[in-house]
Amino acid sequence: KGGFARTAAGWRNKVEVGGEFPPEADRYHLYIALACPWAAGTLSVLFLKGLEGAISYSVTHPTWRRTRPDDENDTHAGWHFCAPGDPPVSNANGHGSFECDDALIPDSLNGAKCVRDLYELANDEVGKYSTPVLWDKKQKTIVNNESTEILRMLNDCFNDFAAHPEVDLYPDASQKEAEELNSFIYPTVNNGVYRCGFSQSQEAYEEALGELFSSLDRLEAHLASRRYLTGAAFTWLDLRLYHTLVRFDPVYHLYFKANLKRIQDYPNLLGFVRDVYQMDAIKKTTNMRHIKMHYYTSHAHLNPFGIIPGSNGPDLTVPSNREKLSSVLLEEH
């Protein structure tokens, strides 16, 4: 009772050879919010694979605002597009002045003012105006808006156009273990922080909080002897965990009341976050300014005046020294 229930993604088409949406260069466009962990992860894969020349992308402003401001009966607030240097944005209550920085990339493809416009252009009937969105330029429609499926398609389907086709985040050897780990990481950590933050009863909050920190304790022990979750190789599961943990101390600990411990209180988890952050492709998709601005300015009922706290969390540029764990694992095998 009072628990947070995530709405399922409504667009689940696949890019596949011989299908309705075949893999082609310059056919697809990715709409993302750098603040969103699910969306930022898809852009990470795009960079890891070197697909910038084959798949274009747009980046939303981090602050949600009214998507139909001229209709007083339509109160939906969500992701919207601005260009660098546009006038600052206020939150839904009219408070704050949140800059339009150089990380923003407006929608030059469809000219959408907000992500909702894209869903309506595609005749969406679900109404979850979320990111990421994988868009087909040829058919002018949404292919998929489920981040896990977009990750897999970017990894598997565009190797003919990738600068780094050798990068594989889904190695066969670790898939079984990855799925087993994900069976508790997703519901209690990735989604667990949202279950804490958007609980509407004390009972639901305490249940989510207990499961979250039980899983963090488990992951801290798990990562004591291995560099990544399934061993020496970085996979999709590490990417998903990273994008949750990097937001934890500056946002989830305070804003979502996930405050029993910080990630910097877990030596192995902190080392893991630093290790992953220091990959160039990951660093490019970790925008702490956007992360903090989104959460602290987009939910007007939780933070009416849009005040953004000062801390960015631990210094992620400190060497992790976790590469030695890869050597140990290789020697053992």
- In this prediction, residue 240 carries a pLDDT of 98
Tell me the CB-side half-sphere exposure of residue 171, using CA atoms within 13 A.
Answer: 13
- In this prediction, residue 12 carries a pLDDT of 80
Reported as a single tens digit per residue, the pLDDT across 136-167 is 999 999 999 999 999 999 999 999 999 999 99
Instruction: Report the C-alpha gap between 180 and 72 in whole angstroms.
Output: 47
- In this prediction, residue 330 carries a pLDDT of 45
- In this prediction, residue 246 carries a pLDDT of 98
Measured between alpha carbons, how far is residue 86 from residues 91, 99, 101 in Å?
15, 8, 8
Instruction: Report the C-alpha gap between 279 and 281 in whole angstroms.
Output: 6
- In this prediction, residue 306 carries a pLDDT of 97
Active site residue 114: no
**Of the candidates 58, 55, 242, which has an alpha carbon nearest to the alpha carbon of residue 163?**
55
Catalytic residue among 28, 57, 186, 194: 194
- In this prediction, residue 70 carries a pLDDT of 94
Cβ neighbours for 104, distance < 8 A, ≥ 6 positions apart: 59, 60, 61, 81, 82, 83, 84, 86
Contact at 8 Å (CB) between 282 and 238?
no
Residue 268, Ramachandran bin (φ over 0: left; ψ between -120 and 50: alpha; else beta): alpha
**Of the candidates 60, 34, 44, which has an alpha carbon nearest to the alpha carbon of residue 116?**
60
Instruction: Report the C-alpha gap between 106 and 118 in whole angstroms.
Output: 13
- In this prediction, residue 327 carries a pLDDT of 57
Instruction: Report the C-alpha gap between 110 and 164 in whole angstroms.
Output: 29
**Of the candidates 33, 29, 42, 53, which has an alpha carbon nearest to the alpha carbon of residue 298?**
33
Contact at 8 Å (CB) between 244 and 189?
yes
Q: What is the DSSP letter of 58?
A: E
Instruction: Report the C-alpha gap between 331 and 66 in whole angstroms.
Output: 56
Active site residue 36: yes
37-47 b/e (C-beta count within 10 Å ≥ 16 → b) = bbbbbbbbbbb
Catalytic residue among 31, 36, 82, 252: 36
**Of the candidates 265, 261, 277, which has an alpha carbon nearest to the alpha carbon of residue 320?**
277
- In this prediction, residue 8 carries a pLDDT of 59
Which residues of the chain carry a pLDDT beneath 50?
6, 329-333
Cβ neighbours for 63, distance < 8 A, ≥ 6 positions apart: 89, 90, 91, 96, 98, 293, 294, 297, 298, 306
